[in-house]
Amino acid sequence: MPQVLYETIADCTIPCHGGAMSVADLWDVALNVDEYISSMTQNQGVFAAAIGATELTDQQRRLFAGDPVRILVFTEDFCGDSAQLIPPVARLARESADVDLRILRRDDHRDIAANYLRKDGYQAIPVFIVFGADGGERGFVIERPQVAYSEMAAETSRFASEHPEIEGVSRNYDRMPDETKAAVRANIERYRRTRTSEWVAALFDELEIAARRATLTTAESD
């Protein structure tokens, strides 16, 4: 299951023009939110509408007050998690002077994105990488908040138990017939839409932990 990781990666580089490019160096070539939306070929309307529909609490707006951060995201247009979870972060960046957001397509930077893998080795998206104002990496969150995984697993189990008539519904996903996979995906997409507020709140909590943990570690070592 994916995890929140707080430690800065020690060696996150790829060869580039005879030198080395770090993940922090990608900030200058990353797209701002409007540029990313303009370049989208899938989910463009959904993504833009989700930014406009997001309503932040006062606490969320103050999440990084006095401690400015940059958040760099690896994603792809087709990703459902990205369409659900990046827009609220984009809204936060619009409403908070302490948050700057840039976006990169994972497939254009797979070598660097490969440093941010789930425990099972899968290169999942989105990946949210948090930097301090000095450009130093503080931590990152992979794919979706932890609570979303447990809730999605529980919902999939519920769906299987209530629909035993669906062929192979209790098998591991990769062993299900295609029609069953489609039914399971459709159910999860319906369920996902009912949990957006809770999962966004959990994501913000994990982003804050990722950012604060590095700050606390530095303070403790002084």
Does the pLDDT at position 3 exceed 50?
Answer: no
Q: Domain residues of the chain, as ranges?
A: 4-221
Does the pLDDT at position 199 exceed 60?
Answer: yes
Which of 110 and 4 is assigned the larger pLDDT? 110
Does the pLDDT at position 8 exceed 50?
Answer: no
Residues 6+ apart with CB under 8 A from 90: 33, 51, 101
The reported pLDDT for the residue numbered 121 is: 87
Which of 20 and 200 is assigned the larger pLDDT? 200
Q: How far apart are CA 12 and CA 19, in angstroms?
A: 13
Min mean pLDDT across 8-22, 95-109, 197-211 is at 8-22
Q: How far apart are CA 82 and CA 76, in angstroms?
A: 8
Q: How far apart are CA 160 and CA 154, in angstroms?
A: 10
The helix or strand, by DSSP H or E, that contains position 186, with its residue range, turns out to be helix 178-194
Mark 74-94 as b/e (b = at least 16 C-beta within 10 Å).
Answer: bbbeebebbbbbbbbbbbbbe
Strands 99-105 and 127-132: unpaired
Mark 159-185 as b/e (b = at least 16 C-beta within 10 Å).
Answer: bbeeeeebeebeeeeeebeeebbebbe
Does the pLDDT at position 82 exceed 60?
Answer: yes
Which CATH superfamily does the domain covering 4-221 fall into? Answer: Glutaredoxin (3.40.30.10)
Under 8 Å between Cβ of 23 and 114: no
3-state secondary structure 81-100: HHHHHHHHHHHHHHHCCCEE
Under 8 Å between Cβ of 37 and 90: no
Q: How far apart are CA 213 and CA 195, in angstroms?
A: 27
The reported pLDDT for the residue numbered 171 is: 95
For tokens 């035993």, the residue is 164
